[in-house]
Chains A and B, each alone.
Chain A
Amino acid sequence: MLRLEWIGRDTVCVRLTGAWRLHERLPSPNEVEQALAGNRELRRIALDASGVATWDTGLVAFVLQVLRYAERRNLLVDRDALPRGVNRLIALARAVPEKLLDGPDERPAWVTRLGLGALAISDATLASLKFIGEAALAVGRCARGRATFRSIDLAAVIQECGPSALPIVSLISFLVGLILAFMGAVQLRSFGAQVYVADLVAIATAREMGCLMTGIIMAGRTGAAFAAQLGTMRVTEEIDALVTIGIRPMEFLVLPRMIALVLMMPLLTLYADVLAMLGGALVGVAVLDIDATQYLERTTHALTIRHVAIGVVKGGVFGVLVALSGCLRGMQAGRSAAAVGLAATSAVVTAIVLIVVLEGIFAVVLDALAL
């Protein structure tokens, strides 16, 4: 609690009593400021805490604010009747602060922000190109048998992005096959051509959906994991430790991940194709009353090695994209927990955007080549 008492015309005594602790409700220094605001004869404030029973830094904060107010108005403050600890803490808090580093700046003008944004984009593009270049060099060294990485790491990554991904790939592909068959059936039925559902499902999954869905699953599952792993290794200085003993992180960390995904993605794509066709067959046989042998026959008729090969090649390429974007974002991550989260997010976004863009390019090129 606090009370103001006037001593003469130019001095006010602020008497503090009771408990001044953070857990209690603390009076605001504004009360003092408001009470003294209009008074022009005031020269001195005397603080008296002799009636304070218990105190903690709540009292110190109050006194500091009164001191600041007094400084603004050029008033003298008498602090003799404050506990010794309070005065010592005030001295501590007012000790010359550390020289400020380059701190959070004012928000720059929009032209500056535009310019900085453009520079950041060009920097990021250059960094990505450099990363891709280094990755290519690492692949070259690996082909000549000169790359340094541990085969056990490679095996672990293969396990992680191959067999461990089977359940989720199975589920998604099967459902996608199911959906394709349903969608196709609704349209084809109006021509009485529902038996061609088998052709539709087979070609669509083999050429497009199998590799696309697998790519997106792997971007979310494995690409994010790569970014988080490498980002955390940056935070804990593990990558610096590799560099100082002369090991290229690009070979030791990125290369096994790339190899693993390039090996696993085509296999996962094939597996996804089979599962999606099974899903389509389930709809065909159970819902559309197509004979099972007939469905199989239509499927084998529609499916050529060319369709399957296109899907598998695309799968491999998507594997490179997922691995590169995951590793790139991980290696670029800042050194904090929040930055690792950002890296994981941005790895997934980058990979999915690249996959969809490349899918479009493939479509145009394959059409031009009449494949």
Chain B
Amino acid sequence: MPSPSETPASAAIVVRDLDVGYGRVVVQRDLRFEVRRGTVFIIMGGSGCGKSSVLRAMIGLLPPLRGEVLVGGVSLWQAEEREREAVARRMGVLYQGGALWSGMTLAENVELPLAQFTDLAAGQRREMAALKLAFVGLAGFEDFYPAQLSGGMQKRAGLARAMALDPDILFLDEPTAGLDPVSSRRFDDLILELRESLGGTVVVVTHELASIFAIGDEAVFLDAERHTIVARGNPKTLLAESTDAAVRAFLTRGEPAAAY
């Protein structure tokens, strides 16, 4: 049994014996997996299986019922407050609905984390915010308020904010949900491009099959009925080789005979 701080150097995140739930209701139990550095890791599963709850436990928003989450070797739920903050600073999160602060312009949304955690001068912060917005195709939208944008644009602005501090680990909660196929494809390309150029690890919670196959290096499948991980590995390999009925149904959209 390794000691809590002992993690393989290649692992960005280690999840150990994690039970996630609310009060007495356990949504997912006995979760064990590692997210390797520099990979795109997918947490997939049907609606309501607890994907987002697991993500919330991984980013420090939902205290787990049992087990631990190690990010860069630091236990998110047992470390000192200051250590946790230092870890949190290296994570960027794109929330499901974008969660942009509606009272701020896009530039201000991106600048706030920079102002909080760096010594950059105001002009440099503004420059960085404009750059991050340009990455996601929103150059020129710096002074818009979130309410003035379409849903897809809000999501991309949310991604720009998640990347404000060039995080080592980017968490994306349903990044392409609600986007049309073309936008969703572009969003996937964008994530891959940013990962290629900047390095870093990406953890994606999603049930969009196209995205899963397009960007996923590795995946875990959370089952809603058995309340735990029932399959893991590369999504394409899983599609070809998994014998689990639930996994097959999910990856083939419920048509056991058809290949995706």
Contact = CB atoms under 8 A, between A and B. Distances in A.
Contacts of A61: 124, 127-128, 131
Interface stretch (B17-25, B52-60, B135-143): B135-143
Nearest to A89: B197
A92 B102 contact: no
A223 to B, nearest CB: 23
Interface in A300-354: 334-339
Contacts of A86: 197
A98 B141 contact: yes
B135 A93 contact: yes
A103 B144 contact: yes
A97 B134 contact: yes
Given A26-B120, A92-B197, A100-B141, A336 B127 contact: no
B137 to A, nearest CB: 6
Contacts of B127: 61, 65
A22 B118 contact: yes
A127 B11 CA distance: 60
B30 interface: no
A93 B114 contact: no
Interface residues of B, number: 36
A335 B198 contact: no
Contacts of A85: 196-199
A64 B143 CA distance: 20
Contacts of A98: 137-141, 153
B155 to A, nearest CB: 13
Residue in B135, B143, B163 whose Cβ sees the most chain A Cβ within 10 Å: B135
A61 B120 CA distance: 12
Given A23-B118, A85-B196, A97 B139 contact: yes
Interface in B57-74: none
A22 B166 contact: yes
Interface stretch (A52-60, A115-123, A242-250, A280-288): A52-60
A21 B103 CA distance: 29
Interface in A46-70: 56-58, 60-61, 64-65
Residue in A21, A92, A100 whose Cβ sees the most chain B Cβ within 10 Å: A92
Interface residues of A, number: 34
Contacts of A92: 134-135, 190, 193-194, 197
Nearest to B138: A98
B81 interface: no
A97 B103 CA distance: 24
Contact of B102 (A60, A88, A336): A336
Contacts of B141: 97-98, 100, 103
B148 A22 contact: no
A100 B146 CA distance: 14
A144 interface: no
Contacts of A104: 143-144
A58 B128 contact: yes
A60 B119 CA distance: 18
Given A25-B119, A101-B148, A94 B193 contact: no
A88 B193 CA distance: 8
Given A88-B197, A335-B147, A93 B131 contact: yes
A21 B146 CA distance: 28
B132 interface: yes
13 contacts: A22-B114, A26-B124, A61-B124, A61-B128, A86-B197, A88-B193, A92-B197, A93-B134, A93-B135, A101-B144, A103-B140, A336-B103, A338-B103
Given A336-B147, A338-B102, A339-B102, 4 more contacts: A22-B114, A61-B127, A98-B140, A336-B102
Interface of B: 102-103, 114, 117-120, 124, 127-128, 131-132, 134-135, 137-141, 143-148, 153, 163, 165-166, 190, 193-194, 196-199
Closest 9 CB pairs of A and B: A336-B102, A93-B134, A85-B197, A97-B139, A56-B166, A338-B103, A88-B197, A89-B197, A337-B102
